[in-house]
Structure 1
Amino acid sequence: MTTPSDTPRPPRRPVWAGRNYRLLTAAAFLTNGGSQAALIASAFAVLGAGGDGGDVGLVAAARTVPLVVFLLIGGAVADRLPRHRVMVAANAVNCVSQGAFAVLVLTGEPRLWQMMLLTALGGAGQAFFSPAAEGMLMSSVEGEHAGRAFAVFRMAMQGAALGGAAAGGALVAAVGPGWVLAADAAAFALAGALRSFLDVRHIPPRAPGGGIVADLREGWREFAGRPWLWGVVAQFSVANAVVGAADAVYGPLVARDHLGGPGPWGVALGFFGAGTVAGALLMTRWRPRRLLLAGTLCVFPLALPSAALAVPVPLGVLCAVMFATGIALEVFGVSWMTALHQEIPEEKLSRVSAYDWFGSIALVPLAMALAGPAESAFGRTAALWGCAALVVAVTAAVLGVKDVRTLRRRGRPVTVSTASADAESPVGREG
C-alpha cells in the first residue's frame, strides 16, 4: 500500500532546466530586453542630436567594428578561462558604455564621435561575451534535451525583445532616449551579477596549449572542415549585413517619414519579437529531422521586411510581415544551435562560435557605413529592394551545399574533434 508521501511527485521543472540554464536564461532575458529598447533609443538619440541616416549608420557600424576585430580573440579566451568570468567582465564593460552614453544624452547634446566611441566600447565587450555565452549555454544542457532547451531559452530571450521593442519605442517617445539607455545599463549590471553565480565545475579543465594563435588555428580547422558550417556562415555574412542596414538605418527613417515616428516603429519591431516567441514555441514541439534544410528554407522570409519598407506598406501590413519573419527566423535559430551543439566538441565550442559570429557580422560595419551613401546614390526604395534580393540570392546559393540539405538530427552531441571522428568512428553527418 502506498501513502500520499510515497507517491513520486512530478518534477517542478524540466530535467534539463538546471541551475546554470536558469541563470543564463534569466540574465539573457534582462539584457535582450534592454538592448532591444536601446537599439531604438540610440538611433533616435542620433537623429535628435541633428544627425541623418548616414550618422545613424556610422554609430551602428562603430559597435560592429570592434566586435569583428576582437571576436576571434574572445573565442580563444573563452575556451581558456572560466567562461562565466569572461561573461561578467563583458557585462561590466557594456554597463559602463551604455551608462556613459545615457549621461551624455541626458545632460547635453552628444557629439557624433562621442556616441561612436561609447558604442564601440560596448561592441568590444560583446566580442568577448558572445563566444563565452554560447559555449556556456551549450555546455549547460544534455544532447537529448538540447533542441527543446534552446527553444525555451530563445523563447525567453525573444519574449524580452518583444517587450523591449514595444516599451523602447513608447519610452523614447515619452521620456526620451537617454532614460532608455540608462535602463539598459542597469540591465547589464543585474545580468552580470546573475552570471557571477554560474557553476563551471562540470567543464573539464583545458589542457595547456600553444597560445592564442595555436588555439585560433585549431578552431579554424574545426570550422573549415565542415562545409555546412562555413556555407551557412558565408550566407549570413551577406544576409546579416543587408538586413542590419535595413533595420537599423532605413527602418527608423521610413518610420519617421511614413509611419509616424519611433512609436510605430517600436510596435513593428515588437511584432517581430512576438513572431520569434511564436517560432520558439513551435520549436519546443517540432523536431525537424533535417536540421539545416528546415532552418535554411526559413531564411528566405528575411527578405520580406526590406521589401515591405521599400513599398512602403501600412503599419498593419508591416507588423504582419515582421511577425511571420520572426517565426521563420526562430526556426532557423533553434535548428542552428542544435546542429552546433550536436556536431562541435565542447572544448571548442567558443572558438567555433567566434568564427561563426565573425563570419556572420564581418560585413555589417561596411553595410551600415554604406547605407547612407547608397540611399543618396540609388534612393531609399532601390536600396531596400536590393537588400531583399541579396537575402534571396545567398539563401538559394547555400542550398547547393550537400551537407546543408542532408545533415540529420542525432540523440547526443559529439565528444571528439573532427580529426578524431574521422579516425575513430563515423559520427557527424549522414549523407
Structure 2
Amino acid sequence: MPVSLLLCLLLQQTPTPPADTMRSRSLDAVVVTATRTERQVGSLPMPVTVVGKAQIQQSGSLRLNDILREQTGLTIVSDHGQGLQIQGFAPDYTLILVDGEPLIGRTAGTLDLNRLTVGNIKQIEIVKGPSSSLYGSEALAGVVNIITENPNRTQGSVSARYGANRTSDLTGDVSLRAGKTNLYLFGNRYASAGYDLTPETFGSTVSPFTNYTGSGRLTSQLSNRLKLTLTGRYFAENQNADAQLTDRQVVLGAGKVNEYTINPVVTHQVSAAWKLMYRYYRSGYSTSSDLRYQTTGAEYDASYFRQTFNRPELVVERTIRNRHFLTVGVGYIGESVEATRYPGRQVFSTRYGFAQFEWVPTRRLTVIAGGVTTTTVNTRRRLVLSCRRATN
C-alpha cells in the first residue's frame, strides 16, 4: 500500500509599491491542476506554466505536441508516437489530463499527443515536478492538464486550413444556451496525404491518414445548490501503411485507432462551508492493424490492443473562515487490457484516497500539505489454453 506525502510552503515577498491612483493591475490566471481547486498562479507553492488561448492561436499549431514543443523544460520524443518528457524523465512519468481526467492508451509508456487537437482548448496548465501526492506515480515528472472551452452564451464558429502534402484541418463548434442549461459541441477533421523523405527506398516516411475528433459538454444548474455537468469525447483515426520486406515482397494494410470518454459530474453545494462532488469517468481505447502481402493477399501481421478505464470518485471540500481549505476524496479504478501480445484479458482494480489541507495565515504565506494512499490488485487473469485430443 504505497503512501505519498507532499508538504509545500509559499512565501511571497512582494514589495509594497507606492500609492498610484493611475496604476493598473493585471490579475493572475486561475488554474486548477496544482491543488485540484481553483487558485491564482501567484498563490501556488509550485511552478505552474499556463498557456492561454491567445498564445495557442498565435502559434498556428494544429496538434497538442506542436504547442508543448515550444515550452521550456519540455521535450517531445518520438517513441511509439509523439510523447512528452519533463525534466529528463521518460514519458511514462508524465500525466496527461483533459479537464482533470486522465488519458489512457499508452504504448511502451508513451501517450501519443497527436491524438489531441488544439481547436477547443481554452488553456493548458503545466505543473513541472512531482505531483504524486495528488495524482499518483504517473505524475512523478509532472502534469499537463488540457482545459477545454465552455462558453456560457449562444455562439458558433468554423475554421479551415490547408497546407503542404495536402494537409487539411477543418474545425467547427457551436454553443447553445437556454435558461440555466448550456450545450457545447465541437468537431474536427484532420488529414494528410503523407510524405516521403527517402524516395530511394520503398515506403512513405509518414503514411496518409485521416482522423476525426468530436466532443460535447452539457451543463445544467438543476437548483441553487445542485449542478450537473456531462462531458464526452470521441476520436477515430485511419492510416494506410506499406512496407517492403527483406525478400522484396510488399505488404499493405490499414491501422485504426478509436477512443471515447464520458464524464458525468454532480456538484452539490451543501452550504457555504461544505461542497460535495460526485464523479464518474469512463474511457476506452483500442488500436488494430492488418498487414497483408500485396501479391497473394495472405495475412502477414494482425494485431490489436484494447483498454478500458472506469473510475467513480467522491470529493468533499470544507472551507473554514476562508483561511483553511480541506479537500478529501476516495475513489475506485477498474481497468482492463487485452492485446495480441498478452495471453488473456488482464483486469486490475485500485482503491485510493487522498487528502489536502491548505492554510492561508496571511496574504503572503500559504501552506499546503497533502497525501494519497492506494491499493492495486490484479483481480483476474484469464489464460487462453489450447487443447488437442488425439484420435486413432
Higher helix share: 1
Pairwise same-fold verdict (TM > 0.5): no
Rg bigger for which structure?
Answer: 2
TM-score (norm 1): 0.22
Structure 2 length normalisation: TM-score?
0.24
Higher relative contact order (CA 8 A, sep 6+): 1
